[in-house]
Amino acid sequence: MITLNISAEVQAALKEKRPVVALESTVISHGLPWPDNLELARTLEAIIREQGAVPATIALIAGQPTIGLDDKQLELLANGRVSVEKISRRDFGYAIARKLYGATTVAATMILAHKAGIDVFATGGIGGVHRGDSNDISADLPEFAQTPVVVVSAGAKAILDLPRTLEWLETYGVPVIGYETNEFPAFYTRASGLSLPYRADTPAEVAAIISAQWSFGLKSGILVANPVPHEAALPLDETERYIQQALLEAQHQGVHGKALTPFLLAYLADISDGKTKQTNLALLKNNAKVGAQIAIALKEQREMLLAQ
């Protein structure tokens, strides 16, 4: 039997129905450079605690699905001394059988969060349909169609084809809620020109939509699109220039498959003099905060429904 290794703190919180927020680990191992990645991993946990929720960073530790990493495990994922695979849905069997260390993507983190009984998950930006090669569709998208977890994200990464990504989500019945926005945010920028069908302006409004969707029996993932804070956002045209350059370089070097997203993120940080990295850090922190607020609002909503 494959069991989940859930930390004592997270187990206690789940048992007592206190709010818990899941965090992914691909952003630590493959999305950000050392030592910013370790500092970020610790900061996200601290932000969630400050809001009054319990953080649960998720990864595979020597093949064991682990929910709620300790500080040593966070460091191991961040420092690059052991090889850490990027794990999505397809990779679980292999990584568990071979006892690999694995950083979980949005899709894989949704799977483990749901198995552990965690409803809310905060990340940076989800994967989607890649530009150019529209056959390269992140496994994050089909995960939303089948796994009922709320994901707070600054839209999808701007390196992607955002209109196609939104169309995909619509086709598969995935609700996308604009948080204090009418537009799908484009990760580094607040606007994309793509309008969203609905917005919510408070965590309680988001919680009400989630509860209604799920209690109606529609058990899909829900995307909460939370734009990067004004002060950290990058100008659209400058960002687009960097992205074009990065996509061209990826093509030259023949980067594809699961290496593509980490390559583009690192290349962008390099040519923008670290500006995209700073923005990425800021939006991750903001998503952790809003994620915790939504987890708390969901808990309050459930208590209210029980009291009726």
Which residues of this protein are in contact with Mn ion, per CB under 5 A?
136
* Interhelix angle 260-271/236-253, nearest 10 degrees: 130
Please identify, among the stretches 7-15, 94-102, 120-128, 190-198, the one whose residues bind ligand PSU according to the rule CB under 6 A. Answer: 120-128
Cα–Cα dist 109/10, whole Å? 15
Q: Active site includes 157?
A: yes
If binding is defined by CB under 6 A, does position 161 make contact with ligand PSU? no
Q: Active site includes 24?
A: yes
Burial 245-282 (b: 16+ CB within 10 A, else e): ebbebbeeeebeebebbbbbbbbbbeebeebbbebbbb
Q: Looking at beta carbons only, is 139 or 209 nearer to ligand PSU?
A: 139
Cα–Cα dist 280/258, whole Å? 19
Q: Looking at beta carbons only, is 24 or 136 nearer to Mn ion?
A: 136
x/- binding map, residues 23-62, to ligand PSU, per CB under 6 A? -x-xx--xx-------------------------------
DSSP class of residue 69? -
Please identify, among the stretches 21-29, 36-44, 75-83, 295-303, the one whose residues bind ligand PSU according to the rule CB under 6 A. Answer: 21-29
User: Which run of H or E residues covers position 84?
Assistant: strand 84-87
x/- binding map, residues 236-265, to ligand PSU, per CB under 6 A? ----------------------x--x---x
If binding is defined by CB under 6 A, does position 299 make contact with ligand PSU? no
What separation in angstroms does the CA of 215 have from each of 176, 193, 200, 212, 219? 17, 32, 19, 5, 8
- Residues tagged active-site: 24, 157
